[in-house]
Chains A and B, each alone.
Chain A
Amino acid sequence: MKTPFRLDEHPRRPQPLAPPPAGYFDQLPMRVMQRVQGDIAEERPAFAFGWLARLAAPVRTALATTVVLGGFAGAFLLSQPTLRPATGTDFTLAAVPQSEMVQYLLASEQRVSLSDLAELPDAGQALPDSDLYASPDELQEALDAQPTEEFYL
């Protein structure tokens, strides 16, 4: 005969499932404390930026945009080639002997026109003193040596 099951007549087992591994409850407090201490340690670095969390969302967005754009601008400026001062170029050119310069110009395919020479003072480049203080005889001699065509070299 089938005996009907009644819950209130069934012997109650407060812990019906298999118990946890031996020593589990001895170790659990220590493991919980480790996790709690770990959470505290993780929260500490975040505290350094806690002021960010207190800012309103639009302010945080604006701040982030500024930082990103600033980064781009900084990278752009730093990537530009450094301009050499004009005096350095002049100094280098002044150091080249005149004879070598003439040889270079003779060998070069480039032709210097009178208009090039006319524009030379406008370039704002300082000329060597030796060119500025040529004697009248030297100037006359140089002019006599030039051909009458437009291009003299």
Chain B
Amino acid sequence: MEDQDILLKFADPVSRNVAFNQLVRKYQQKVYWHVRKMVIDHDDADDLTQDVFVKVWKHLGNFRQDASLYTWIYRIATNECLSFLQSKRRKFFLPLHDVAAELAAKVEADPALAGDDIERRLQQAILRLPDKQRLVFNLRYYDEMPYEQMAEVTGTSVGALKASYHHAAKKIEQYLNNDAPAN
């Protein structure tokens, strides 16, 4: 179902639930993986993904269609992730490094990365980036999102996003080249 059809049906109280169900089915995997790559843990990602869609439900009636629905949902998901990581630091009085260390420990324990040393190190390198830069890297590298769309999601200029991604990629390569074992 097209986004426009979903929005039209959502506007009608009779078909609102059906339209929203379609919306969740359409975007759930993208939202989940976007969140999961930021918070690493599945349970946290599950909670946040649900929170994102609850917010979408609450505010979809006020959605002005200045941006695409896809971008708007990504923006909500991004804000939820950043708020979650920020509150986690405030809650446990942990400095940046400690939250990164906690996420790194979860990556180490992830069964999908067992036996793939380069991929595991790549994930560790990504986790060393500041949250916002990690977010930019994920959107560009994994989701292959155009910079213009990234600008709408993050509220940052295209130029700044390109620079941020470039620096992130360099940091990651540097980390892997310094620490990677000889092939």
Contact = CB atoms under 8 A, between A and B. Distances in A.
Given A3-B183, A5-B173, A12-B142, A17 B112 contact: yes
B173 A29 contact: no
A32 B42 CA distance: 16
B110 A32 contact: no
B94 interface: no
Interface stretch (A33-41, A90-98, A117-125, A132-140): A33-41
B156 to A, nearest CB: 21
B37 A28 contact: no
B101 interface: no
Nearest to B137: A7
B64 interface: no
Interface stretch (B48-56, B69-77, B78-86, B146-154): B48-56
A71 interface: no
Looking at chain B, what size class is its interface with the partner chain?
35 or more
A28 B110 contact: no
Contacts of B37: 16-17
Interface residues of A, number: 28
A7 B126 CA distance: 12
Interface of B: 17, 20-21, 24-25, 28-29, 32-33, 36-37, 40, 42, 45-46, 49-50, 53-54, 57-58, 107, 110-113, 118-119, 122-123, 141-143, 169, 172-173, 176-177, 180, 182-183
Interface of A: 1-7, 10, 12-21, 24-25, 28-29, 31-33, 35-36, 39
